[in-house]
Amino acid sequence: MGGLGGTSSLSPLCLWIPVFIGVAVVCVSVNVSAELQRLEHPAVNKADASSISFLVIGEWGRKGTYNQSRVAFQMGRVGDKLNIDFVVSTGDNFYDDGLTVLGNHDYRGDVEAQLNPFLHDIDHRWFCQRSFILHTEIAEFFFVDTTPFVDKYFSKPKDHKYDWSGVLPRDKYFKPHKALRDSTAKWKIVVGHHPVRSIGHHGDTKELLTHLLPILEVNNVDMYLNGHDHCLEHISSTSSQIQFLTSGGGSKAWKGDVDKNGKDGVKFYYDGQGFMSVELEQMNVKVVYYNVFGKVLHVLNLSKGLHYAI
């Protein structure tokens, strides 16, 4: 399968790529018994703090194989053109068993290795925690560690061994409702590894539909960014303003692995490698999906204050 969609106009989690010289690297994924750490991120363009731009990549930890290096090269070109503020990774940063949010593959090993602040001392571009808030002039990003939400990793781990240090007990683990409720940001963006909505290999994540989606809706979240499914995808919520944006094409893609019957709200789907760019302003957002050759596959425009409708 190639792709679904083109241009859509709406009215209304750590990446190591050497070509990004001087750019902060933000990994999706603090023990949440305490208040979430809130980070301040000044805009790259000091003269215009009312806009930011960033790239989104996921499923990329494969030592340069499966076109990972080619995706990185194109990200370098786009990142340089947009003068990006940072890069967001949606998880599965290392395969096979891992040591950035964190993805399910990252929990199959020493999770604390990726969370160790010593890594930031080695290279200031690396920042990784389980859950945290990134505050900018016009938006707040809520990075949510979604892997502990998923029941099967506890009840049916198969041959995998998960490192749950710092997570248990689950009923006391992070729930983002208070942080989202207290936010007065113009734009609210949540980043997690697992999709809430997807027509890819894994499909919808039922635990997130039950426990996270109602929180996103009641707190007027604008966008939910995720990986997990190895594809690029845009689904528009049919019950709220939320746009579900999957960027999981950082390396190995799953050709043709799509639910052709689950097209409710689907605006775009691509089963190859690629990434996303996001340009955020006070009243407008532009999201662009690129393939491994840098070709634009899909464009999404959002306008704040107008009714979100395709």
pLDDT tens string 168-192: 656 666 567 888 999 999 999 999 9
State how far the Cα of 244 lies from the Cα of 199, in Å rounded to an integer: 11
Q: Residue 284: name the closest of 142, 143, 139, 179 by CA.
A: 139
Higher pLDDT, 14 or 301: 301
Q: Which of 65-74, 99-108, 120-129, 271-280 has the highest mean pLDDT?
A: 271-280
Q: Where are the alpha helices (DSSP H) in 11-128?
A: 68-82, 112-115, 118-122
How does strand 132-135 pair with strand 38-40? parallel
Neighbours of 165 (CB within 10 A): 12
Pick the CATH number of 3-303 from 3.60.21.10, 3.30.470.30, 3.40.1260.10, 3.30.43.10: 3.60.21.10
Burial of 129 (0-12, 13-18, 19+ CB in 10 A): buried
Q: Which of 105, 202, 211, 307 is catalytic?
A: 202
State how far the Cα of 143 lies from the Cα of 169, in Å rounded to an integer: 20
The predicted structure's pLDDT at residue 62: 58
Does residue 64 carry a pLDDT above 90? no
Q: What residue type is assigned to position 111 of the chain?
A: V
Residue 274 φ/ψ region, left for φ over 0, alpha for ψ in the -120 to 50 degree band, beta for the rest: left
Q: How confident is the model at residue 9 (pLDDT cuts 50, 70, 90)?
A: very low
Q: Determine contact, residues 215/176, Cβ cutoff 8 Å.
A: yes
The predicted structure's pLDDT at residue 264: 87
Tokens representing residue 143 in the block: 């990075």
Q: Residue 120: name the closest of 217, 14, 213, 239 by CA.
A: 14
pTM over 0.85: no
Q: How confident is the model at residue 167 (pLDDT cuts 50, 70, 90)?
A: low
* Extents of the domains making up the chain: 3-303
For residue 37, give the DSSP letter: P
State how far the Cα of 158 lies from the Cα of 152, in Å rounded to an integer: 9
Average pLDDT of the chain is: 76
Does residue 296 carry a pLDDT above 50? yes
Dihedral angle computed from the Cα positions of residues 124, 71, 191 and 101, in that order, rounded to the nearest 10 degrees: -50
Tell me the pLDDT tens digit for each residue of 246-265: 998 887 877 887 887 877 89
Q: Detail the residues annotated as belonging to a binding site.
A: 92, 95, 104, 193, 228, 230
Does residue 77 carry a pLDDT above 60? yes
Q: Detail the residues annotated as belonging to a binding site for Fe cation.
A: 92, 95, 104, 193, 228, 230
User: Is residue 177 annotated as a catalytic residue, yes or no?
Assistant: no
Neighbours of 42 (CB within 10 A): 11
The predicted structure's pLDDT at residue 261: 81
Higher pLDDT, 53 or 58: 53
